[in-house]
Amino acid sequence: MQILTDAPLIAFNTFGLQARAAKLVVLESVNDLPAIPELVRNNPAFFPLGGGSNVLFAEDYQGLILQNALKGKVLTETEDAYHLRVMGGESWPQLVDWTLQEGLGGLENLALIPGTAGAAPIQNIGAYGLEFADRCEYVEYLDLTTGDIQQLNKEECQFGYRDSVFKQALQGKVLITAVGLYLPKPWQAVLAYAPLSQLPENNLTPQTVADCVKSARRSKLPDPKLLGNAGSFFKNPTLSQADFAEISRQYSNVPGYPTTEGQVKIAAAWLIDQAGWKGKKLGAAGVHHQQALVLVNHGQAKAEELLSLARQIRDDVKNKFGVTLTPEVRLIGQTGEISL
């Protein structure tokens, strides 16, 4: 376990912002878990961090940031499925690639999503018709009050669209140590979303699907190593059918996707593009020229520039369409999560 004071966070957030933390703890061994609750008690402002791929540090953090670097994975097999136990600090993209190398299907739609395995259930990451919840068997965590290791099954995690119990009732109270994944046999491709729906079904393999997903993501999403970003900045809003019909009467080409709850999800990127923000800049902050849903750091952007840009986009979309965008990226202030 590494403990650093007044620590720079530029290497711990994919926006590449120059924030600092009063204290940064890098957790590298399960043997260090018993010491974590006391550290948290002595630092009431506490934030658990994975790969930093879904956060924007709005200010210097005045408390303790705990970066989960626990590594390890175990594969077991039953008659109907493969079961994976993955430690929270494992890279999610590398995990997906490893399953493909092992000949295991089931995670290919989630290829190239940045971050760690421990962060995946918090946001219930998802892409191309699949969510973490669809493959979750359990989530294991350290209770920061009692020091006990607990497990929640899929239902107990209360997964929703980019949401879970870890962003709600358990926020700030636990540290996710490991996740259990269920990869069913036989493998069945999930091809509902374009461009996967265009794949020929003959000789289809998990690797074929993964390659298509990676190609699509690389064509639309900038590499944060080259251009600072945190992926999709806003959630895709969900509307009632009546509200969607009203927008459709004015804009016949608005993309809408029915949900299982009888509502309609519309593409935030389309709304932002139609509001005229695609490719625009505000200082060193900007909207990506290929994907309007991605805000980027063009070099030396300040957090306030990104936040101001996000607020202006939100307000313009609200004024034009009557739809309120909410951030998917987690905004972190001096002592915890803040709103836009």
What secondary structure does DSSP assign to 193-239, as a single string?
Answer: STTGGGS-STT--HHHHHHHHHHHHHHHS--TTTSEEEEE-BPPPEE
Which residues make Cβ contacts (< 8 Å) with residue 188, sequence separation at least 6?
Answer: none
Rounded Cα distance between 243 and 31, Å, is 53
Annotated catalytic residues are: 162, 232, 328
Three-state DSSP state, 260: coil
Residue with tokens 């970003």: 229
Rounded Cα distance between 337 and 171, Å, is 10
Which residues make Cβ contacts (< 8 Å) with residue 314, sequence separation at least 6?
Answer: 234, 324, 325, 340
Q: Residue 47 has which token pair?
A: 């934030």
How buried is 179 (Cβ within 10 angstroms: 0-12 exposed, 13-18 middle, 19+ buried)?
Answer: buried
- Asked if residue 52 lies in contact with residue 13, where contact means CB atoms within 8 angstroms, the answer is yes
CA atoms within 13 A on the CB side of 28: 6
Q: Tell me, what amino acid is at 221?
A: L
DSSP-H helix ranges across the chain = 36-41, 92-101, 120-123, 206-220, 241-250, 268-274, 303-321
Q: Residue 68 has which token pair?
A: 């989960």
